[in-house]
């Protein structure tokens, strides 16, 4: 059989196929397999806290300088070190007091002598009054006796004041804590001779710290006293504070103002001088938000995937804002009635077909 005969036989076989079968073969649809099984949610509208991020440093709320009041005395004993917690009135150090105690004893003796002399002149003055009334003492003699009595009383007062001064000087040889707190610095060393006013210790009063946050001049007017603040120390510890004061002026160099935030006394690993960042709560506003898992970041932009009526996904570029309780604010680009893929968007592309299940379904996601 030649070649042309074979071709003719094939064409004849094709022509005998039923016409309906040919049309069915040509129009049969191709089934599309879903690339993923997804759960969809709708954006929610609700109140979300407005927060102002800021950076700053932790510092002592108040730092007291404890110095020597006595002059030219040697330190005998130092009882505290840096980091020690003390209570008001606790002894921090003692100074040499031998000379002052001897002077105190001398002042006590002088007071006793003056008191005895005053007692004698008082008796003589009373006797002079009686004799003057009987005509045995002249007015001049009575006046002299009264003057002697007053002079003796003055010497008693002077001796008593000197005694109080010596007692105060002896008391100053014991250096005490002016308030409860934590010793943050120590310059006192045993054997050194200190002068009046010399710094011996520094004390963080009541162990309280504060966060000094730097806020721009444009934002300083939005901060209110008493506003809650969440602080993250460099150690990773989270602290909850409140705005105590907003600085009345702005630094002319940096154009920033300080916000003083009270920090709880038990700060754990947080220390004065440590860098910290935080967020100051400014208030609340109504926003549109989606779960954080619904947002996919690609090439530096944020996207969500919405599902249409045909079960196909669309990649939608959105502008995001604040994050609160695992929900992310959407500032634009998304319709409130959109059906948003809850999770798994990183495995999807624009135009993919998905299978939608209700939230809480146990169906396993399909593989691509």
pLDDT tens column, 268-305: 778 888 999 999 988 888 889 999 899 999 888 999 99
What pLDDT does residue 328 have? 87
Q: What percent of the chain has pLDDT over 90?
A: 39
Domain C-terminal end among 259, 285, 311 = 285
User: Are 228 and 334 members of one domain?
Assistant: no
Which CATH number characterizes residue 254's domain? 2.40.30.170
Quick check: is 280 in a domain? yes
State both tokens at 287. Answer: 């926003």
Higher per-residue pLDDT: 146 or 109: 109
Q: How confident is the model at residue 358 (pLDDT cuts 50, 70, 90)?
A: low
* Residue range 330-351: mean pLDDT, rounded: 88
Question: How are beta strands 228-233 and 209-216 bridged, if at all?
Answer: unpaired
**b/e per residue 271-295 (b: at least 16 CB within 10 A):** ebebebebbbbeeeeebbbbbeebb
What pLDDT does residue 25 have? 44
User: Are 269 and 247 members of one domain?
Assistant: yes
What pLDDT does residue 359 have? 62
> How many domains does the structure of the chain reveal?
4
User: Are 143 and 254 members of one domain?
Assistant: no
What pLDDT does residue 19 have? 44
Quick check: is 254 in a domain? yes
What pLDDT does residue 26 have? 45
What pLDDT does residue 76 have? 93
* Highest mean pLDDT: which range of 243-257, 319-333, 350-364: 243-257
User: Are 320 and 309 members of one domain?
Assistant: yes
Q: Who's near 229: CB < 8 A, 6+ residues apart? A: 211, 213, 240, 241, 242, 243, 261, 278, 279, 280, 281
DSSP E strands: which ranges in 61-208?
63-67, 73-78, 85-86, 91-95, 174-176, 181-186, 193-194, 199-205
Quick check: is 109 in a domain? yes
Quick check: is 215 in a domain? yes
Calculate the average pLDDT of the chain: 84
Judged by average pLDDT, the poorest of 1-10, 213-222, 270-279, 309-318 is 1-10
User: Are 223 and 122 members of one domain?
Assistant: no
User: Are 110 and 222 members of one domain?
Assistant: no
State both tokens at 361. Answer: 């379904």
Higher per-residue pLDDT: 362 or 149: 149
What pLDDT does residue 121 have? 86
Higher per-residue pLDDT: 222 or 362: 222
User: Are 108 and 168 members of one domain?
Assistant: yes
pTM: 0.60
Q: How confident is the model at residue 75 (pLDDT cuts 50, 70, 90)?
A: very high
Cα 333–Cα 40–Cα 284 angle in degrees, nearest 5: 55
User: Are 279 and 314 members of one domain?
Assistant: no
pLDDT of 16 above 60:
no
What pLDDT does residue 302 have? 92
User: Are 200 and 76 members of one domain?
Assistant: yes
Owning domain of residue 249? 52-62+207-285
User: Are 117 and 167 members of one domain?
Assistant: yes
Ramachandran region of residue 113, left (φ > 0), alpha (ψ -120 to 50) or beta?
Answer: alpha
User: Are 165 and 262 members of one domain?
Assistant: no
Q: Who's near 249: CB < 8 A, 6+ residues apart? A: 257
């Amino acid at each position: 059989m030649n070649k042309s005969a074979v071709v003719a036989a094939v064409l004849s076989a094709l022509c005998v196929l039923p016409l309906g079968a040919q049309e069915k073969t040509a129009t049969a649809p191709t089934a599309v397999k879903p690339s993923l099984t997804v759960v969809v949610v709708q954006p929610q509208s609700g109140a979300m806290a407005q927060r102002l991020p800021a950076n700053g440093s932790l510092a002592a709320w108040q730092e007291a300088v404890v110095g020597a009041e006595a002059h030219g005395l040697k330190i005998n004993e130092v009882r505290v070190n840096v980091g020690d917690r003390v209570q008001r009135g606790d002894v921090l150090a003692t100074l040499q007091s031998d000379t002052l105690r001897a002077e105190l004893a001398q002042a006590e003796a002088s007071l006793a002598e003056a008191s005895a002399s005053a007692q004698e002149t008082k008796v003589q003055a009373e006797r002079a009054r009686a004799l003057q009334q009987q005509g045995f003492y002249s007015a001049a003699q009575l006046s002299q006796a009264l003057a002697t009595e007053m002079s003796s009383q003055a010497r008693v007062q002077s001796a008593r004041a000197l005694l109080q001064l010596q007692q105060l000087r002896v008391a100053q040889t014991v250096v005490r804590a002016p308030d409860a707190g934590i010793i943050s610095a120590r310059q006192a060393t045993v054997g050194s001779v200190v002068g009046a006013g010399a710094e011996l210790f520094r004390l963080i009063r009541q162990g309280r710290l504060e966060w000094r946050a730097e806020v721009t001049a444009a934002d300083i007017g939005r901060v209110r006293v008493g506003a809650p603040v969440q602080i993250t120390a460099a150690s990773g510890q989270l602290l909850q504070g409140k705005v105590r004061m907003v600085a009345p002026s702005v630094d002319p160099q940096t154009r920033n103002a300080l916000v003083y935030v009270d920090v709880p006394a038990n700060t754990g690993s947080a220390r004065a001088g440590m860098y910290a960042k935080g967020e100051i709560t400014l208030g609340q506003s109504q926003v549109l938000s989606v779960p954080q898992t619904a947002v996919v970041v690609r090439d530096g932009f944020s996207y969500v995937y919405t599902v249409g009526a045909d079960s196909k996904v669309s990649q939608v570029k959105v502008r995001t804002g604040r994050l609160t309780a695992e929900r992310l604010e959407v500032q634009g680009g998304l319709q409130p009635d959109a059906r948003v893929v809850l999770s798994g968007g990183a495995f999807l592309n624009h135009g993919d077909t998905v299978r939608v299940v209700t939230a809480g379904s146990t169906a396993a996601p399909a593989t691509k």
